[in-house]
């Protein structure tokens, strides 16, 4: 909910905002959904000016459609396929990890998810020479195991060191820290600042369920909302920056209690929507 | 004063020649879009709002790809040659999959023809229910000026449900506010520009087996057959004209892995059929 303030866009002056506020228009959504003719009359503002402001606000806050042909061109030039290092896994994944997409590894505890993640990280870092961010929320990441995996790929110590240097690890043990780590990654990537290593091509999150499960259950919806937010963040990071994202998790069926179908009730103060 | 108002009225409501023609010509017909899906006439009429409801992995997005290819293929390729607007709320859309399906459907698929078909598809990504609302406002202009843009697809309209509930605090009305506004504006778009809308919703809730549920009078025969719990706002429930329930068959005896139950909301007419998903898309 963006509140109208002076300087939000050219043409939106402080006096205009005062007049609009006096007539109940406080946010961008209020402004855009109101009938501009009525507003022009009630606030005695110029209709032309209001239309111009509306156009700029819409351009600023709404999403732009992209043509299918353009999207296809863009994708052809920017999408890459990262091999996972294992031929059978590559075959299963239709030749590998696609950048811009999210691959979820699901399985019971002890089924090998962390091992697969470590091996993919080692392969991408060593063979493809790409940077990896490994977000560990279970404490299952061990550098010695990673070293073993890298050593099995090459004997030369220099190469091993380089491969290990390309993998950054973040230890997070609750969802807020995880969201913060993703925010930091986003900041790094959008600044195009060489954050000590360079742009990340693979993001591994082991595991998502470790930080999300404690929040679920019971009747509150905040846990579900946070989970949706985390999912969206992983997807948008993958899409916007051309990463391949690999979150892991356990599948759980929850009982979140009963929710009544929301009946429309008239507002307590008589406001009808 | 009246002259000024008349002038400003003229300024606001004047339409270009193209818009006038678009309005008078009407939208292209969606006849033969997909006879298997529609319980009644066999094609969506302009003004219909069709909801695809089902759990994840039940074929809703594949069906949307199928409908999109039917729309954007040229008439020579067996399509309707109309334009489609696709609003993607959870970054789900896979262009490469669409291209694969197009390549299978076109007799001779060259790069040029594929791009020509894709040129009839417009894609928008929305991040929040507020952005969805504002995007609908900004798309109004596109609907005005393009008479061949007659199909609007929303995948999915339930993506912001939990986030909105959490942001709205304790008050149910506040939680549903954005969605209600979206639905209201969607209704205006459908009415004024004679669109057909397809929207997908996820099955977030299941019917509980407690006795409290049985007290809800199930108005429709089709609701009794499927596991359907409505959770989006009432205004959305009222806007929908057809509801199609998707489910995945666990043991497919005849190799058709997915089934749908299609209900016309007002006439309570139910049609069932099944389909499978292959490399070339949906096959009935």
Domain ranges for chain B: 48-205+218-283
State the pLDDT at residue A273. Answer: 29
Tally of CA atoms within 13 A in the half-sphere of B185 that contains its CB: 21
- Measured between alpha carbons, how far is residue A118 from residues A65, A124, A147, A208, B41 in Å? 39, 10, 10, 16, 55
CA of B148, closest CA in chain A: separation in Å? 15
* Distance separating alpha carbons of residues A261 and B219, to the nearest angstrom: 15
Q: Hey, is B122 helix, strand or coil?
A: strand
CA of A28, closest CA in chain B: separation in Å? 9
State the pLDDT at residue B43. Answer: 66
User: Do residues B248 and B257 touch, judged by C-beta distance below 8 A?
Assistant: yes
Which two structure tokens, joined as six digits, stand for B230? Answer: 């409505």
pLDDT interval class at B45 (50, 70, 90):
confident
- Choose among A28, A40, A68: nearest Cβ to B121: A68
Q: Which residues contact A59 (CB under 8 A, 6 or more apart)?
A: B138
CA dihedral A130, A131, A137, A143 (to 10 degrees): 80
State yes or no: pLDDT of B280 exceeds 90: no
CATH for B48-205+218-283? 3.40.50.300
Q: Peptide bond before A212: cis, by omega within 30 degrees of 0?
A: no
Q: What was the ipTM of the complex prediction?
A: 0.82
Cβ count near A76 (within 10 Å)? 11
- Choose among A68, A227, A236: nearest Cβ to B119: A68
User: Do residues A57 and A9 touch, judged by C-beta distance below 8 A?
Assistant: yes
Within 37-66 of B, beta carbons closer than 8 Å to A belong to none
User: Do residues B187 and B64 touch, judged by C-beta distance below 8 A?
Assistant: no
> Which pairs from A183-186 meet CB under 8 Å and 24+ separation?
A185/A133, A185/A237, A186/A233, A186/A237, A186/A241
| Chain B interface mutation, best of A9, A51, A62, A93, highest count of B Cβ atoms under 10 Å | A62
Q: Would an 8 Å CB–CB cutoff place B6 in contact with chain A?
A: no
Place of tokens 């994708």: A75
The separation between the first and the last C-alpha atoms of chain A, rounded to the nearest angstrom, is 17
The phi, psi pair for A206, rounded to 5°, reads -120, 105
Q: Residue B36 has what DSSP assignment?
A: T
Provide the b/e sequence for A206-224 (b: ≥16 CB within 10 Å). bbbbbbbbebbeeeebebb
B176: closest chain A residue by CA:
A262
Q: Judge: A72–B205 Cβ closer than 8 Å, yes or no.
A: no
User: Do residues A107 and A113 touch, judged by C-beta distance below 8 A?
Assistant: yes
State the pLDDT at residue B21. Answer: 57
- Measured between alpha carbons, how far is residue A27 from residues A31, A61, B138, B173, B174 in Å? 6, 12, 17, 18, 15
Q: Would an 8 Å CB–CB cutoff place B208 in contact with chain A?
A: yes
Chain B residues within 8 A of A36 when measuring between CB atoms = 12
Provide the b/e sequence for A126-164 (b: ≥16 CB within 10 Å). bebebbbbbbbbbebbeeeebeebbbebeeeeeebeebe
- Choose among A62, A238, A273: nearest Cβ to B137: A62
List, for residues B150-168, the tens digit of each pLDDT value.
Answer: 899 998 898 888 888 888 7
Q: What is the CA radius of gyration of chain A?
A: 25
State the pLDDT at residue B154. Answer: 94
Predicted structure pTM score:
0.84
A221: closest chain B residue by CA:
B166
State yes or no: pLDDT of B44 exceeds 90: no
Provide the b/e sequence for B160-199 (b: ≥16 CB within 10 Å). bbbbbbbbbeeebbebbbbbbbbbebbbebbeebbbbbbb
User: Do residues A194 and A237 touch, judged by C-beta distance below 8 A?
Assistant: no
List, for residues A139-170, the tens digit of each pLDDT value.
Answer: 889 999 999 999 998 888 898 998 999 999 99
Q: Judge: A47–B212 Cβ closer than 8 Å, yes or no.
A: no
Which regions in chain A score pLDDT beneath 70?
192-197, 219, 252-273
B122: closest chain A residue by CA:
A67
List, for residues B52-102, the tens digit of each pLDDT value.
Answer: 998 888 888 999 999 999 889 988 888 888 899 999 998 889 999 999 999
């Amino acid at each position: 909910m963006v509140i109208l303030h002076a300087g939000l866009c050219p043409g939106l002056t402080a006096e205009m905002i005062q007049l609009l506020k006096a007539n109940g228009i406080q946010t961008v959504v209020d402004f855009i959904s109101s009938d501009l003719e009525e507003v022009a009359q009630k606030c005695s503002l110029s209709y032309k000016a209001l239309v111009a402001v509306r156009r700029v606000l819409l351009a600023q806050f709404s999403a732009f459609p992209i043509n299918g042909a353009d999207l296809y061109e863009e994708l052809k030039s920017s999408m890459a396929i990262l091999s996972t290092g294992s031929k059978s896994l590559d075959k299963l994944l239709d030749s590998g990890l696609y950048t811009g997409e999210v691959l979820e590894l699901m399985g019971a505890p002890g089924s090998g998810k962390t091992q697969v993640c470590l091996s993919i990280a080692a392969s991408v870092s060593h063979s493809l020479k790409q940077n990896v961010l490994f977000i560990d929320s279970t404490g299952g990441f061990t550098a010695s195991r990673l070293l073993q995996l890298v050593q099995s790929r090459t004997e030369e110590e220099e190469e091993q060191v380089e491969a290990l240097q390309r993998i950054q690890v973040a230890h997070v043990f609750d969802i807020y820290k995880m969201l913060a780590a993703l925010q930091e990654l986003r900041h790094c990537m959008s600044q195009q600042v060489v954050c000590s290593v360079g742009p990340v091509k693979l993001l591994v999150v082991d595991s998502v369920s470790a930080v999300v499960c404690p929040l679920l259950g019971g009747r509150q919806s905040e846990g579900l909302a946070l989970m949706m937010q985390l999912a969206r963040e992983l997807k948008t990071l993958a899409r916007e920056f051309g990463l391949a994202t690999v979150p892991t998790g356990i599948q759980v069926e929850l009982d979140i209690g009963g929710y009544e179908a929301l009946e429309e009730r008239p507002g307590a103060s008589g406001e009808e929507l | 004063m009246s002259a000024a108002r008349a002038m400003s009225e003229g300024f606001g409501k004047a339409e270009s020649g193209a818009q006038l023609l678009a309005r008078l010509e009407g939208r292209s017909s969606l006849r033969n879009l997909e006879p298997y899906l529609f319980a009644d006439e066999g094609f969506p009429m302009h003004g219909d709002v069709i909801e695809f409801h089902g759990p994840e992995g039940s074929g809703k997005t594949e069906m949307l790809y199928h409908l999109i290819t039917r729309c954007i293929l040229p008439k020579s390729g067996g399509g309707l040659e109309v334009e489609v607007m696709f609003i993607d709320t959870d970054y789900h859309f896979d262009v490469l999959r669409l291209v694969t399906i197009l390549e299978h459907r076109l007799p001779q698929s060259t790069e040029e023809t594929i791009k020509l078909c894709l040129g009839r598809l417009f894609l928008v990504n929305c991040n929040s229910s507020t952005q969805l609302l504002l995007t609908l406002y900004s798309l109004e202009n596109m609907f005005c000026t393009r008479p061949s843009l007659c199909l609007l697809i929303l995948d999915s309209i339930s993506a912001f449900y939990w986030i909105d509930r959490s942001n709205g605090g304790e008050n149910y009305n506040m939680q549903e506010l954005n969605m209600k506004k979206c639905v209201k504006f969607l209704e205006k778009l459908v009415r004024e520009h004679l669109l057909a809308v397809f929207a997908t919703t996820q099955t977030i809730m299941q019917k509980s087996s407690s006795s409290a549920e049985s007290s809800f009078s199930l108005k429709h025969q089709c609701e009794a057959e499927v596991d359907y719990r409505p959770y989006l706002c009432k205004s959305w429930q009222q806007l929908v004209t057809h509801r199609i329930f998707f489910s995945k068959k666990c043991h497919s005896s005849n190799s058709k892995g997915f089934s749908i139950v299609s209900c016309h909301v007002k006439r309570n007419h139910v049609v069932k059929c099944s389909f499978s998903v292959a490399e070339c898309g949906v096959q009935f």
